[in-house]
Amino acid sequence: MATLWRRRERLLGVPGRLCRAVRALSGKNEYDLLVIGGGSGGLACAKEAAQFGRKVAVLDYVEPSPQGTKWGLGGTCVNVGCIPKKLMHQAALLGSALKDAQHYGWNIAQPVHHTWSVMAQAVQNYVKSLNWGHRVQLQDKKVKYFNMKGSFSDPHTIRGLTKAGKETIVTAENIVIATGGRPKYPTHIAGALEYGITSDDLFWLKESPGKTLVVGASYVSLECAGFLTGIGLDTTVMMRSIPLRGFDQQMASLVTEHMECYGTKFLKRCFPTKVEKLESNRLQVTWKNTDLGTEETDCFDTVMWAGRPELTPTAIAAGKLLARRLFGQSSELMDYENVPTTVFTPLEYGCVGLSEEAAVQCYGSDNIEVYHAYYKPLEFTVAERDATQCYIKMVCLREREQRILGLHFIGPNAGEVIQGFALGIKCGATYPQLMKTVGIHPTCAEEITKLHITKRSGLDATVTGC
């Protein structure tokens, strides 16, 4: 153990014995809890611990992206995730609404033009207000905030370093690491780091990204490509294998089909090998098409590498529960089953519970029943919008009780629809119980309460009439 500490002392540049000596002089640690990371999970944990009257500190530092983008307190969700993503998704939905409005009698001057800088400034101003709000909340709850990058000196001691290089030693009885994650660059691809951006940068661009290549098929990738297309930009998604890995693949296919109809281009079973900057400042991307065995190129204004951050509400819940276990005599652990989520693509996809594939794997195909329906949202009718990908699927056990294992919904406001049903599924709702639920007419959500066609029957699942 002594050898290990000496090795740590050399690596960190701070003598562990000195840190321990500082703590010994005071007789105790400075804080009951120190949280490293000021994102959703870390802040939730810190504020919950403060509610128990404990002395709490948060240490947060944003390492600028390779392109130099940085932001304030609040983590991925607030700064480069859920919040700016949903606002830019809303900008794209408004563009679609302008097209629909003409069918409802509104005279909209043509052509309609979107100005990226106006949207970006509004989004960034709101994000900055949230940064400030988080700082005020910590202050109100008497949680000390350190804007520093931390590293361990010993199990109870953190060496904090400010941007200017000033060092502060902080000791705590309990230290929680809640640093989250950042998108990764594919460094094996020539030019990826020098010329590409990630979602960390996209939301803070002052000017339009122009013709954009989004590499990857995660939900971050599809969401970004969706709103870029929606505000009128030439957008292409390059996917090496399947879209939305980990999600129900029938639903994932419907999402990408709609995106293609909506205007997003897809390069399927392709992977990039090189990014070069031309004299025109445009980026030439070279990729391989595994189906054709060919090498292809095209030019773009922006190349974005998409990663997959974790779900914010899950981090918040886990952070609160950890604080209660540490200081509130609780033993409750986070339940990661039946966590609802939504992919904010142009046609939203919300789900809770198991995918059809996972249900088959867990219980066997003979032991599950899948109820499904293709439906047309009322708001699509007058506007004559294509609704071929609006689809609902409910995965149930076949046993007499028919417990619901998973619910999947593609359509407008999918997140709002799934949120309510998630409670029922979390409580063990069954198919017969759902059939006794009275729907609200006319809504998209009511279609869930009318599911009666099974895949097994082979009958047409298209909803007609009321």
Of 89, 258, 441, 452, which residue is the catalytic one?
A: 441
How many degrees, rounded to 5, is the angle at CA 30 between CA 26 and CA 36?
150
End-to-end C-alpha distance for the chain, whole angstroms: 72
To 5 degrees, how large is the angle CA 262–CA 444–CA 258?
A: 15
Task: Tell me, yes or no, if 441 is annotated catalytic.
Answer: yes
Do residues 237 and 217 lie in contact, with contact meaning Cβ atoms separated by under 8 Å?
A: yes
Angstrom distance (rounded) from CA 308 to CA 341: 13
User: Starting from the edge strand earliest in sequence, which strands make up the sheet with 167-177, in order?
Assistant: 144-146, 56-59, 31-36, 167-177, 157-161, 149-154
Per-residue CA distances from 435 to 233, 332, 450 (Å): 43, 33, 7
CA-based max dimension of the chain: 79
By the 8 A CB rule, do 209 and 301 touch? yes
Please spell the DSSP secondary structure of 185-238, one letter per residue: --TTSBTHHHH-EEHHHHTT-SS---SEEEE--SHHHHHHHHHHHHTT--EEEE
Question: Catalytic residues, which ones?
Answer: 441
